[in-house]
Structure 1
Amino acid sequence: MSTPTRPSPVAADAPLTLTEAPPRTLGLRDSLGLWGNLGISLLLPVAAVYVVMPGRSLWVTIGAIVVGAVIGAALLGATAAAGAREQVPAMVLLRGLLGRHSSYLPTALNLVQCVGWATFEIVIIAEAASRVLDAPRWPFVLGAGVLATAMALRPLGVVRVLARYAVWAALAALVYLYVQVLREPLPELTEGSASSFWTAADIVIALPVSWIPLAADYSRHVRSSRAAGVGASVGYGVATVVMFTLGVLALAAYGSAGLDVIDALLVVPLGALAVLLLVVVELDEAFANLYSTAVSAQNVVARADRRVLVLVVGAVATLLALTFDIAAYEPFLFLIGAVFVPLAGVFLVAYWLLPRGTWDTSDTAPARLELLLPWVAGFVAYQLTLPTYFAGPGAGWTSWWTERQTDLGIDPANGWSASLVSLAVAVLLTLVVRAPALVRGRRS
């Protein structure tokens, strides 16, 4: 990466190319507002259906949500703080870990992940809006795609709007939905068992961790690493607890009628209005994924104009949302997410716990191929703990890993957190792999 030029004191928004230095105009309130809004997503209460298990008490379920949110948000905050310190996007930040050319591997995976999640968010927005307004879905797909793309063209301006206005509108809708749901009869908090606590927590951990490959794209514009870390961890962590718990309570209150979470919330008096407001707020998730796709691509093509990249990616995601069954693609997105869990562990240990000297994110950053080992081992540990579930043509992946579990005597219903097992393996192996370099450093 060539030496960035100094940003203008009146720089209005994010730089157009990777060769320009990022303006650091965001403070703690902006960071809290951004990550709070990203956490207020309809995807989280919808995912709550995977957290609720027959026989598990409501108290244990909510406890798993809190524990999972704390763990995931802490990892996200530590990554965001590093991005603010180094002032580079997320994939460029990985040059200091793996080297410039080796960083292209996680970059390619992140491009696929970001386009997929942008498409998924557009589908969620369109599906929810079509249900609320009882209208065809395709106009909402087009509208959401166009609006999210427009937002991604001026990301810092959007962040300020989110922090100052959108977060309060979303909170008002959430407070109303909570009041209405809590008025319904709910089961006793302690009724049931404590089964599968870590399985439930693992699902919650996955949501904050899914943002780790994007965090530095935004935190590089925050004035201090402390503001970036606190904003990401507290903003997204609190929102995660709030949204997952809303989904769990809605299922407990209305689930007996066989409704999914969105339909359950629509049953609430004036629930359609509140859900429609959350649908509008949902645009920020699609915008963030579109913007991060463009910024990630600049790790490979540093001089590419991010506005052109955003327009291309926005058009692709919108077209996919119109023509592709994104539900069939969802397991693949979770598989890619499992790839980034151990990578986060390797990065955080190498950056925060081991002596690192200068974190080299330049074009000449040397390769550290030995750090691929703990990354790959962590991914294998994840799949051996909880294989990513595929149906249909991809079922062979799940069955192969299930057979390996049997070979190793691992109970498929082990109840462990795949994220924590993966992180532990990645962290320990990173320490082992880097030990010789540390010893040489002390002797020199």
Structure 2
Amino acid sequence: MSTSDDVRTSTSTGDAPLTLTEAPAATLGLRDAFGLWANLGVSLLLPVAAVFVVLPGRPLSTTIGAIVVGAAIGAVLLGLAAAAGARERVPTMVLLRGLLGRRASALPTALNLVQCVGWATFEIVIIAEAASRVLDAPRWPFVLVAGVLATAMALRPLGVARVLARYAIWAALAAVVYLFVEVLAEPLPLLTEGAATSFWTAADIVIALPVSWFPLVADYTRHVRSGRAAFTGAAAGYGLATVAMFTLGVVALAAYGSAGFDVIDALLAVPLGAVAVLVLVSVELDEAFANVYSTAVSAQNIVARADRRLLAVCVGAVATVLALTFDIAAYEPFLFLIGAVFVPLAGVLAVAYFATPRGAWDTSDTAPARPLLLLPWLAGFLAYQLTLPTYFAGPGAGWTAWWAARQADLGITPANGWSASLVGLAVAVSLTALVILPGRLCRRRIPA
């Protein structure tokens, strides 16, 4: 099939192209982008993760401040990648060809495939867990239903995105507002339990949520009409939803969590909370669908002519099987590891892309290798781990122990309270500027 035939096929279907060789149609506006990303941010995973951002013994306002700061940082990084995707009209992993080269882009692609399958599994787990508690039924049937529905949605992603942006967001908003009204009517005592050890470790958890969408964001914003609309829609939509959902989790724990530190149980304790939670459970399908779809699209960076529908069915099946046996206790270290890998990469991409002249970003099959830009990414990852090593128990404990030993070698206090995300980001951005900017300045000095 010729390229022109591919373009016509993609345009005529009115949905996302089936292969990477087809051109995407730019059919989404600011309202669509904002609604989609706000809806993706309204997720039960965020209030569940609130247990990790609570600063025990500190005023709730301090924890909420960490949520706002973390959401703002993560949302800006997300928005910058969203804008680049809209300008270049390619998925995120293909966008990274311009950063690292065609072959080297396979490295972040492989990491993203692992991340996307993990997130799809998390989403199916939380849907099934919440539904089983509300309806007092076994969990496994809900796992199967959620997996099948998310996979089916991934077959028509743009159609689903429009429905989510224009209709589902209102149901989600109504449920969230109702829960806030009920929770805030209760006394909010000081929380004495929580996993955060400082303001910045709490912010790191929040940063990880928007940044976890960084490797996926252009898969959707390549269909947005302008970079400005893509930036505003993704950053504002997901950022505001992140603040709302984390805050809901924190105040629900304060109001109803004294008998046990569990957010879902706390929300179910709200009058008619079961109904509101069921609404959020149904809306949660969009996150599972998005991760299934983006796993398929990311894989196309390596196998460009593979049909995303077949890939999505395979991914959905794997995530569903994993969800049947998944342990939600592994959630916190997974979040930190996501931050350690993708926060520095987001910084490298932002500096390199916006320092490159418009039209010069090469995402073709012949995009040249830029091995020097692997160094800022690696340095940012190392800086993140040395600031706050990702904690794993059991078989993964050796990983944590090794990084703790390196901290000791460098005289870094384990309980330093620093933001690993900001340290890793600062290192990555600074080194990228050192690699990119001298070359640009030299080219400017050469007479035409």
Deviation at 1:420, TM superposition (A): 0.7
With over 3 angstroms needed to count, the CA separation of the structure-2 counterparts of 1:330 and 1:290, relative to structure 1, is farther
SS of 2:324's equivalent? helix
Other-structure match for 1:11: 13
**1:115 and 2:117 correspond:** yes
- The CA distance in 1 between the partners of 2:358 and 2:438, in whole Å, is 14
Deviation string for 1:374-410 (max 9, x for gaps)? 0000000000111101001111111111111111111
Percent identity reads: 80
Per the TM alignment, residue 337 of structure 1 is displaced from its structure 2 partner at its CA by 3.9
Alignment of 1:365-444 (within 5 A): 365-444=367-446
The CA distance in 2 between the partners of 1:58 and 1:228, in whole Å, is 33
Q: Distance in 1 between matches of 2:17 and 2:52?
A: 40
In structure 2, the partner of 1:218 is: 220
Return the letter of the residue paired with 1:217. D
Equivalent residue in structure 1 for 2:89, among 81, 87, 90: 87
The answer for the alignment partner of 1:157 in structure 2 is 159
Q: Give the whole-Å Cα distance in 1 for the aligned partners of 2:299 and 2:12.
A: 26
Question: AA paired with 2:41?
Answer: G
CA distance in 2, matches of 1:195, 1:116: 26
Per the TM alignment, residue 186 of structure 1 is displaced from its structure 2 partner at its CA by: 1.3
Which position in structure 1 is the counterpart of 2:184? 182
CA distance in 2, matches of 1:7, 1:228: 24
- The answer (yes or no) to whether the contact 1:116–1:333 under 8 Å persists in 2 is no
> How is 1:33-432 mapped onto 2 (pairs within 5 angstroms)?
33-187=35-189, 196-325=198-327, 327-328=329-330, 331-332=333-334, 334-355=336-357, 358-432=360-434
Instruction: Report the CA distance between 1:33 and its aligned residue.
Output: 1.0
Provide closer, same or farther for how the CA distance between residues 101 and 307 of structure 1 changes in structure 2, counting only shifts above 3 A: same
Counterpart of 2:385, as a letter, is: Q
Q: Report the AA paired with residue 257 of structure 1.
A: A
Q: Distance in 1 between matches of 2:419 and 2:339?
A: 14
Deviations 1:311-363 (A, max 9, x none): 11111111111234454476346424421111111000001135475100000
Residue 147 of structure 2 aligns to a residue in which SS?
Answer: helix
Task: Check whether the contact 2:211–2:343 (CA below 8 A) recurs between aligned residues.
Answer: yes
- Residues 56, 195 of structure 1: 8 Å contact kept: no
Provide the residue aligned with 1:21 in structure 2.
23
- On the 8 A contact 1:100/1:362 being kept in 2, the answer is yes
Contact kept, 8 Å, 1:14 with 1:155, in 2: the verdict is: yes
Is the contact between residue 149 and residue 310 of structure 1 (CA under 8 Å) also seen in structure 2? yes
1:379/1:422 contact within 8 Å kept:
yes
Residue 196 (structure 1) shift = 1.6
Q: Residues of 2 paired with 1:403 and 1:73: CA distance?
A: 33
The structure-2 alpha-carbon separation of the partners of 1:59 and 1:352, relative to structure 1 and needing over 3 Å to count, comes to same
Give the conservation status (yes or no) of the 8 Å contact 1:39–1:236.
yes
AA aligned opposite 1:386: L
Alpha carbons 2:155, 2:293 under 8 Å: kept: yes
* CA–CA separation in structure 2 for the residues paired with 1:171 and 1:336: 28
In structure 2, what is the Cα distance between the partners aligned to 1:326 and 1:46? 10
How far residue 197 of structure 1 moved from its aligned partner, in angstroms, is 1.5
Contact 2:384 2:421 in 1 (8 A): yes
How far apart, CA to CA, are the structure 1 residues paired with 2:190 and 2:130? 30
Deviation at 1:369, TM superposition (A): 0.3
Output the CA distance in 2 between the equivalents of 1:182 and 1:7. Answer: 53
Please, what is the CA RMSD of the aligned residues? Answer: 1.8
Q: What TM-score does the superposition give when structure 1 sets the normalisation length?
A: 0.95
Q: Distance in 1 between matches of 2:294 and 2:197?
A: 38
Determine if contact 2:27/2:225 at 8 Å carries over to the other structure: yes
Q: In 2, are the aligned partners of 1:350 and 1:356 still within 8 Å (CA)?
A: no
Deviation digits for residues 10-52 of structure 1 (CA, Å, limit 9, x no counterpart)? 4321000000000111111111111011100001001110111
Distance 1:64 1:324, change over 3 A: closer
User: Aligned partners of 2:317, 2:201: CA distance in 1, in Å?
Assistant: 37
* Structure 1 stretch displaced more, 194-203 or 304-313: 194-203
Q: Aligned partners of 2:296, 2:444: CA distance in 1, in Å?
A: 41
**Distance change in 2, residues 1:381/1:438 (3 Å):** same
Deviation at 1:195, TM superposition (A): 7.4
Distance 2:182 2:254 in 1: 13
Matched residue type, 1:263 = D
Number of aligned residue pairs: 439
- State how far apart, in whole Å, the 2-side matches of 1:170 and 1:409 are: 47
* Partner Cα distance (1:67, 1:370) in 2: 31
List runs of 5+ in structure 2 lacking aligned partners: none
- Structure 2: how far apart are the matches of 1:48 and 1:306? 34
Give the Cα–Cα distance (whole angstroms) in 1 for the partners of residues 387 and 358 of structure 2: 31
8 A Cα contact 1:109 1:336, kept in partner: no
Question: Contact 1:381–1:418 (CA<8 Å) still a contact in 2?
Answer: yes
- Structure 2: distance between partners of 1:308 and 1:291: 11
Asked if the contact 1:114/1:289 (under 8 Å) is kept, the reply is yes
- Unaligned ranges ≥5, structure 1: none
Change (3 A) 1:87 1:357: closer
SS at match of 2:186: coil
2:205 and 2:336 in contact (8 A); partners too: no
Change in Cα spacing, 1:281 to 1:81, as seen in structure 2 (3 Å) is same
Q: Distance in 2 between matches of 1:428 and 1:212?
A: 20
Residue 99 of structure 1 and its aligned partner are, at CA, apart by: 0.3
Q: Give the partner amino acid of 1:86.
A: E
Relative distance call for 1:175 and 1:336 in structure 2 (3 A) is closer
Aligned partners of 2:306, 2:216: CA distance in 1, in Å? 19
1:383 counterpart SS class: helix
CA contact (8 A) 1:7 1:23 kept: no
> How far apart in 2 are the matches of 1:333 and 1:307?
28
Residue range with higher mean Cα deviation, 3-12 or 302-311: 3-12
